[in-house]
């Protein structure tokens, strides 16, 4: 008990997530022959590389008590726009291309941010609308064409699979490593930098944040711009991984990113959570999906039903336990 009460709730959450991940891996390892190998790690890491970025952006927005449902459309648009630029100018500098996809995403994020922070429209309404709006921009922009792998330069399609380093049979590929670096940078900023702490302040108590001299509007605006930036970068990764982009690219990513954040212990009412949690949440969601497909006992079609149950279980346990913990601490405070 002593150790548990000394750890912060945030650290406890991360430990609990790691424990759940370990249990899931051990369970499937006992069920599926040849489960624990390098290929499992590679498969999950290349798909998490995209979702981790989106979930990171989503977490920043949720921390401020908002939600961004437009990320899927932003990923789709960014992937298409980036693909169409490089198809038409194959000699373009890779860094400029990356910058382009980041700018496209940020621009969309700033539209959301302006409407939420300065026009004071609830974020669920704004992003519900821009989800449809950005998707229709994509339809107009694409002009009923699609991006194909054959039009892309080799460096772009090779990039996600480039091995960077490996631990045993686990090969860290460039795409996953890049996402991991972004997640760690954002985590360090969130825990160490004063301006980034404002996200938590605004999310946990907007009035108090206001009295403390924090410009809440700017903070919310920044959160949405950053979420757009992350979705833009995810669009770049999406293009590099899949090569073929149609108008439905990124459809459904908005709910998956919210699910990853929530499973990762980010409070949907704002003010608490971490991007590391959201990252682990994204891994857990993907691990379950991948493993259930290979598990012979149930049909692969169970994966969504199990995923839904997992989200509910994660949030219910989290709520019940944190209420217990809060009561326990209150009692301890009284007796001192």
Partner 1 sequence: MSRLFTWEGFLFACLVAIFTFNAIAAPDFLTISNQINLFQLSIEKITLALVMTFVIINAEIDLSVGSMMGLSACTFGYLYQMGVPAPLVILICLTIGVAGGLFNGWFIARLGLPSLVVTLATLIGFRGLARVMLEDRGIGSFPDWFTALGQKGLIGPVPFALIAFILLFLLLYILLERSGFGRKTYVIGSNRDVADFAGIDTARHKLIIFTMSGLAAAFAGLLYAARVGAVRGDVASGFELDVITIVLLGGVSIFGGKGSLIGTLLSILIVLNLRNGMALLSITGHIQTGVIGLLLIASVVIPRIKLPSLKPEAAA
Q: Which residues bind partner 1 (CB under 8 A)?
A: 67, 69, 115, 119-122, 124-126, 128-133, 135-140, 247, 255, 258-259, 262, 268-269, 299, 301-309, 311-312, 315-316, 319-320
Name residue 166's beta-bridge partners: 171
Nearer to partner 1, 87 or 322 (CB): 322
Q: Does residue 79 contact residue 245 with C-beta atoms inside 8 Å?
A: yes
Strand partners, 163: 173
Question: Which of residues 60 and 178 has its CB atom nearest to partner 1 in the complex?
Answer: 60
Least distance (Å) from partner 1 to the CB of residue 148?
A: 20
* Cβ contacts of 266-269, under 8 Å, gap ≥ 24: 266/59, 266/62, 266/63, 267/62, 268/62, 268/67, 269/65
Nearest distance in Å: CB 138, partner 1: 8
Question: What Rg do the C-alpha atoms of the chain give, in angstroms?
Answer: 21
Q: Measured between alpha carbons, how far is 247 from 287 in angstroms, rounded to an integer?
A: 27
Rounded CA separation 233/335 (Å): 51
Nearer to partner 1 (CB atom), residue 72 or residue 160: 72
* Between 66 and 106, CB nearer to partner 1: 66
Q: To the nearest whole angstrom, how small is the minimum distance from the Cβ of residue 67 to partner 1?
A: 8
Name the residue nearer to partner 1 (CB basis): 25 or 121. 121
Q: What angle do CA 205, 193, 52 make, to 5 degrees?
A: 85
């Amino acid at each position: 008990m002593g150790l548990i009460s000394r750890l912060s709730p945030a650290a406890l959450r991360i430990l609990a997530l790691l424990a759940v991940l370990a249990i899931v891996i051990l369970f499937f390892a006992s069920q599926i022959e040849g489960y624990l190998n390098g290929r499992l790690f590679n498969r999950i890491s290349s798909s998490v590389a995209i979702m981790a970025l989106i979930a990171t952006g989503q977490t920043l927005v949720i921390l401020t008590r908002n939600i961004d449902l437009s990320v899927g459309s932003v990923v789709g648009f960014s992937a298409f726009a980036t693909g169409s630029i490089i198809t038409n100018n194959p000699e373009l500098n890779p860094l400029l291309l990356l910058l382009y996809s980041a700018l496209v995403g940020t621009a969309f994020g700033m539209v959301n941010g302006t409407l939420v922070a300065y026009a004071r429209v609830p974020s669920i309404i704004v992003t519900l609308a821009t989800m449809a709006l950005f998707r229709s921009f994509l339809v107009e922009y694409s002009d009923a064409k699609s991006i194909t792998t054959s039009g892309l330069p080799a460096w772009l399609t090779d990039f996600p699979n480039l091995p960077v380093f490996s631990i045993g049979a686990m090969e860290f590929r460039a795409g996953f490593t890049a996402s991991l670096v972004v997640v760690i940078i954002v985590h360090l900023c969130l825990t160490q930098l004063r301006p980034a702490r404002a996200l938590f302040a605004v999310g946990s108590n907007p009035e108090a944040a206001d009295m403390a001299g924090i410009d809440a509007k700017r903070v919310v605006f920044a959160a949405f711009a950053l979420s757009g930036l992350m979705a833009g970068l995810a669009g770049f990764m999406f293009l590099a991984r899949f090569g073929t982009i149609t108008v439905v690219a990124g459809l459904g990513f908005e709910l998956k990113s919210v699910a990853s954040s929530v499973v990762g212990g980010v409070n949907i009412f704002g003010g608490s959570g971490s991007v590391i949690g959201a990252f682990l949440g994204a891994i857990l969601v993907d691990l379950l999906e991948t493993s259930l497909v290979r598990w012979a006992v149930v049909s692969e079609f169970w994966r969504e039903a199990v995923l839904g149950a997992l989200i509910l279980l994660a949030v219910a346990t989290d709520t019940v336990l944190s209420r217990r913990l809060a009561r326990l601490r209150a009692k301890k405070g009284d007796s001192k």
